Structure 1
Amino acid sequence: MVEVFAVASGKGGTGKTTSTVALGMALADRYDVTVVDADTGMANLLFHAGLSEAETTLHDVLADDAAIDEATYERFGMTVVPCGTSLDGFRDADPARLREVVATLAADTDVILLDSPPALDSRTAVLPIVMADRIVVVLQPTIPAISDGLKVQEYATSYGTGVAGILFNKVREDERIDDVAEKTERYFDGPTLAAIPESERAREARRAGRPLLAHAADCDAAAAYRRAADALSVDSGESGDVADRFRSAVIPETL
């Protein structure tokens, strides 16, 4: 059975896309992994996956101008479905079509990671969280980031989406992450998967347009992402027509 994770945060700048791609690469050692840029308004996945020249993107699929297989690319051991960067492409895309996209992809992969929008500010922005089986909440160890992450969890669980775990990112050397994680786990449903140290190598990878695990596979941050992937349990049991549950995902009427 395919399992769908929404990689989510309550605010921008937490390193959500970096984390999505890193988890995808690490999980791809054991599973068939598909990473989807579900943040249709602020596309970043194509840059992280070195796909800035992608001719067809998810925007074309959501506008009903292309089939999903035309917007899928094999990169770094994963299948990647990026969005484009043009304003016209965003305007023409119908985010509700994401349900059919995920349903189609679900038939031929083990794990889908949805790089989700960073804020719960519209009905379609929360659709990836509603469709997911579980969320991975990306946090920085600050009170505002944790507070916003709790809002994401509250929304997810209200629609029956579970919490796979918490991923602390951009952790400075002077931050006592064990103390923060212990206190945070009192409020989050899932465990702390890992604490990713702040890393110049991650910034280098973004500038180079390569995933961190490809750019600097031996750095401390890459090792922490691999630990997070190892801690992330994946349900790979048998099921029937799993695509039906994605096609029938309800777009919330209110936020």
Structure 2
Amino acid sequence: MVEVFAVASGKGGTGKTTSTVALGMALAERYDVTVVDADTGMANLLFHAGLSEVETTLHDVLADSAPVADATYDRFGMTVVPCGTSLEGFREADPSRLREVVATLAADTDVILLDSPPALDSRAAVLPVVIADRAVVVLQPTIPAISDGLKVQEYATSYDTDVAGLLFNKVREDGIERVAEKTERYFEGPTLGAVPESERAREARRAGRPLLAHAPDCEAAAAYRRAADALSVRDGASDDVADRFRSAVIPEPP
């Protein structure tokens, strides 16, 4: 009874991790949600969730030195699986084991959000998108960002991962209007929402707290809640839900 979303972007700096946590918190009002930091090389979810002091992370699980349960933490109404930030941990981790991690988590949750690497430049970076049922593409409302987002869509659809929708972030006043037509023309999924550029989001990152916990009444937080409402969660169940993720094919490099 689980659906897995890859929250992805074609480049860094779009606010993808902020968006992943915000969508997770909003969805957690209706579902059992698990958020996984699948960016094993440049992880930062643990800082957003106030987990910088944890001992066991996804790196340890991917290195086969700890069970998944030891790297799960209850934070802000969600289950959070952070990834470590050390170079040694990255070297020891086997990214292909992410399939087994997702399979294990899928047995005990409704929604999994994979905070995916921003650049599709390796097999490990593409794998979260391949594993997922659908992808949420996070974009800034600029032509270059849309071009990068199209690369995410191309990889997703080539591996039978649907696009659940687009989430525009860091939107300045009237900034989305000039790209809306191109977006509708080239992307398959609907526009879930447009989150305004927000000083409160920057404050939340500095405080090590999710935006919806730090400033729940701000305009950006409200936009994330509307986006979560627009994100339809389907029943992704199969006869053996775990096998569905264990069998995901590891893609060739782009």
TM-score by length of 1: 0.98
Structure 2 residue matching 1:185: 3-state secondary structure: helix
* 4+ residue runs over 3 A deviation: none
% identity of equivalent residues: 87
Q: Distance in 2 between matches of 1:246 and 1:186?
A: 32
Q: Residues 139-164 of structure 1: CA distance to partner in whole angstroms, max 9, x if unpaired? A: 00111110000011011100100000
Residue aligning to 2:130: 130
Residue aligning to 1:105: 105
Structure 2 residue matching 1:112: 3-state secondary structure: strand
How far off is 1:239 after superposition? 3.3
Q: Residues 81-140 of structure 1: CA distance to partner in whole angstroms, max 9, x if unpaired? A: 000111111110000000000000000000000000001100111000000000000000
Are residue 118 (structure 1) and residue 118 (structure 2) matched? yes
Structure 1 residue matching 2:186: 3-state secondary structure: coil
Residue aligning to 1:71: 71
How far off is 1:33 after superposition? 0.2
Paired residues for 1:100-249 under 5 Å: 100-175=100-175, 177-236=176-235, 238-249=237-248
Structure 1 residue matching 2:181: 3-state secondary structure: helix
How far off is 1:174 after superposition? 4.3
Structure 2 residue matching 1:125: 3-state secondary structure: helix
How far off is 1:192 after superposition? 0.4
Residue aligning to 1:23: 23
The answer (yes or no) to whether the contact 1:71–1:81 under 8 Å persists in 2 is yes
The answer (yes or no) to whether the contact 2:166–2:192 under 8 Å persists in 1 is yes
Are residue 50 (structure 1) and residue 46 (structure 2) matched? no
Structure 2 residue matching 1:186: 3-state secondary structure: helix
Q: Residues 52-81 of structure 1: CA distance to partner in whole angstroms, max 9, x if unpaired? A: 001100000000110000000000000000
- Structure 2 alignment gaps of length 5 or more: none
Q: Distance in 1 between matches of 2:161 and 2:174?
A: 34
Q: Residues 12-56 of structure 1: CA distance to partner in whole angstroms, max 9, x if unpaired? A: 000000000000000000000000000000011000000000110
Residue aligning to 2:96: 96
Q: Distance in 1 between matches of 2:188 and 2:134?
A: 11
Q: Distance in 1 between matches of 2:186 and 2:19?
A: 22
Q: Against the structure 1 CA distance between its residues 238 and 94, is the aligned structure 2 distance closer, same or farther, given a 3 Å change threshold? A: closer
Q: Against the structure 1 CA distance between its residues 195 and 76, is the aligned structure 2 distance closer, same or farther, given a 3 Å change threshold? A: same
Which one-letter code corresponds to 2:22 in the other structure? A
Which one-letter code corresponds to 1:130 in the other structure? V
Structure 2 residue matching 1:235: 3-state secondary structure: coil
The answer (yes or no) to whether the contact 1:156–1:162 under 8 Å persists in 2 is yes
The answer (yes or no) to whether the contact 1:131–1:249 under 8 Å persists in 2 is yes
Which one-letter code corresponds to 2:208 in the other structure? G
Are residue 41 (structure 1) and residue 36 (structure 2) matched? no
- The total of aligned residue pairs comes to 254
Q: Residues 180-227 of structure 1: CA distance to partner in whole angstroms, max 9, x if unpaired? A: 223311110000000000000000000000000000000000000000
CA RMSD of aligned residues (A): 1.0
Structure 2 residue matching 1:88: 3-state secondary structure: helix
Structure 2 residue matching 1:121: 3-state secondary structure: coil
Q: Against the structure 1 CA distance between its residues 139 and 237, is the aligned structure 2 distance closer, same or farther, given a 3 Å change threshold? A: closer
Residue aligning to 1:2: 2
The answer (yes or no) to whether the contact 1:181–1:192 under 8 Å persists in 2 is no
- Structure 1 alignment gaps of length 5 or more: none
Q: Against the structure 1 CA distance between its residues 193 and 61, is the aligned structure 2 distance closer, same or farther, given a 3 Å change threshold? A: same
